[in-house]
Amino acid sequence: MDRRQFLYGATALAAAPMIVSCGADRPVVTIDNSYPVSNFGATSTAEEVTLGLDLTGKTALVTGCNSGLGLETMRVLAMRGAHVIGTGRTLEKASKACSGVPGRTTPVVLELSSLQSVVECADTVAGLGLPIDILVCNAGINTFGELELVNGVEKIFAINHLGHFVLVNRLMPLVKQAQAGRIINVGSRSAYVQAPAVGIDFDNLRGEGLFDSQEAYGRSKLANALFSLELAARLEGSSVTSNVIHPGLVKTNIARTAPIVLRKGFDWFGDLIAKTPEEGAATQVYVATNPALKGVSGAYFEDCNAVTVDGGNHIFDKSMAERLWAIGEEMAQGYLITIEGE
């Protein structure tokens, strides 16, 4: 058994209890041959999937650039010649990350829990006067605590979905200015192994019902997938594409709020069962840059290939995606701009 097979097995084993708990059929993930198929996989790195590419003249924006997948994504895009705008919750964090990366980078503040901060970030980026060729919605949280609300919205949903919903809206004019803009939403398998059995439980987005932190995380990741799907539909006929990816089980600090037993276990065994950040960033960097994916939109990627997921899930539910979009517009009222052509 090679490491790729081990990673697949470990991920499936880790997900099994969550699959049972949500009452869904066991998901079956297969490569979707209707899209270009790559030779890259679970153990490929971001550097490997961009080998030979020259991104000089392109501008990318990566949210959550200060650690983990965001930092590695910024590093490799800059290495290949792109000008990378890296966002962090504070200017200090973003600046520190950018200064440690060779190449052209620009730090910008973005606190996704504050829609006003999202607006200010977009205004700052617009002030640079550059089209956005690549927009990687990477930042996110996973908490293991009690219910928290942000401006009346459940915190994980607010940060992982709603903040990026507004950011993409505000930056869309710049993405449309690019020759062929690409929007990459970083999702997760949690979208189909941890989300509520009903999908997005729209009557519980403001903490109205029972709260389970891991179900809430799955809900937010399902929202990422559905947002990407509806965005792709709305962008049809334009040169801009929207796709969602699952990076894999990656050894980053996203689970820093987990119970100490889980944190220690991940510290001890993470190197065996999880991808490195270099491997974890590969899929989002691949989808952001590979020439073979020009025009590909509305797809879901795992391990550098578009895949289908069968067995009791909602990640391709178009009607749910439409409803989520409408709810997002309602929640973000006053922070959105009108996009020509939509």
Give me 71's structure tokens.
């930092």
Pairwise CA distance, residues 92 & 108, whole Å: 9
- Residue 217 appears among annotated catalytic residues: yes
Instruction: Give Cα separations from 290 to 44, 65, 183, 226 (angstroms).
Output: 14, 21, 13, 23
- Cα dihedral sign for 160, 187, 264, 194? positive
Closest by CA position to 219, among listed 318, 320, 138? 320
Catalytic residue among 217, 286, 300, 335: 217
Pairwise CA distance, residues 88 & 67, whole Å: 9
Pairwise CA distance, residues 51 & 229, whole Å: 29
Which residue has 């899209």 as its token pair? Answer: 35
Residue type, 127: G
Give the dihedral of Cα atoms 22, 188, 307, 316; nearest 10 deg: 60
CB 109 within 8 A of CB 86: no
Residues with catalytic annotation?
217
